[in-house]
Amino acid sequence: LNRRGSGDRSGPVPLVRLWLRHPVSGPGFGSGSGSGFGSGSSTPRDYAPSMPAAWTVPPWTTIAIVLIAAAYLRGRIGLPARFSRGRAACFLAGLATLWIALASPVDLYANYALWPHMVQHVLLSLVAAPLVVLGMPGVPVFRGLPRSWQRLVGPLLAARAIRRGYRLLLHPLTAGVLFSLAMWLWHVPVLYDLAVADPFWHAVEHACFLGTGVLVFWNVFEPWPFRSAWSPLPRVLLLL
């Protein structure tokens, strides 16, 4: 965290260390006014930027999400009834949740307070991931790609090594282990600080939460034509 406005340019202050120096004293993240992380004089609000001045719409993230939505909507034209409007609504809601997590002020303030950082994790792994999977995105997104891209991607997806790889990743046991590891490892203080201080590792962290969430919910909801290796009850237990 940079001490903006204080004239200090000595480098970032990792969120975990800031939190430990000003521990939470109650449910309001502070005592008295409830506006800080503790009773000390420095709180995340001292470091947080002014919202109108600091937040701008990230263009590349927004463009990527819009293009994925366009490919999905284009590709679902002419598909059978199983690709219903309700499925499309779920997929678009998942993309909207993804945008909120990665491109809205939630992402900005995740660098300055613990709770928006945790909100990001929940949105990515437990809201965006299941909504995207419920949209059964595989077939529509592929059909929505330009023909030249389909000719390039199609043989890659059909390659034996690739099929073995995604069978392994989509096995319920693999998905559950990876999901648990992502949740635990990224909250180890060293890795947590790394993700807060370095944008690249912050992006890797987000990819881990979203990707492992998709793997788990792919088994839970079985989007056509996928069939999980486990029966329904064990698959639901993956969420516990």
pLDDT one-digit tens code per residue, 139-182: 999 999 999 999 999 999 889 999 999 899 999 999 999 999 99
Provide the percentage of residues in the chain whose pLDDT is more than 90. Answer: 54
For the record, the structure tokens of 205 come out as: 């962290």
Give the pLDDT confidence score for residue 134 in this predicted structure: 96
The whole-angstrom separation of Cα 132 and Cα 141 is 11
Contacts of 3 (CB under 8 A, 6+ apart): 13, 46, 47
The CA-CA-CA angle for residues 124, 125, 130, to 5°, reads 100
Q: Furthest-apart CA pair in the chain: how many Å?
A: 63
Residue 236 has pLDDT above 80, yes or no: no
Long-range contacts of 215-219 (CB under 8 A, 24+ apart): 215/169, 215/170, 215/174, 215/175, 215/178, 215/179, 216/129, 216/175, 216/176, 216/179, 217/129, 217/130, 217/133, 217/134, 218/133, 218/170, 218/175, 219/170, 219/172, 219/175
Question: Band of the pLDDT at 52, cuts 50, 70, 90?
Answer: low
Give the pLDDT confidence score for residue 110 in this predicted structure: 80
pTM: 0.76
The whole-angstrom separation of Cα 192 and Cα 39 is 24
Give the pLDDT confidence score for residue 181 in this predicted structure: 95
- Mean pLDDT, the chain, whole residue set: 81
Question: Band of the pLDDT at 239, cuts 50, 70, 90?
Answer: confident
Mean per-residue pLDDT, 25-39: 38
Instruction: Specify the higher pLDDT residue, 102 or 230.
Output: 102
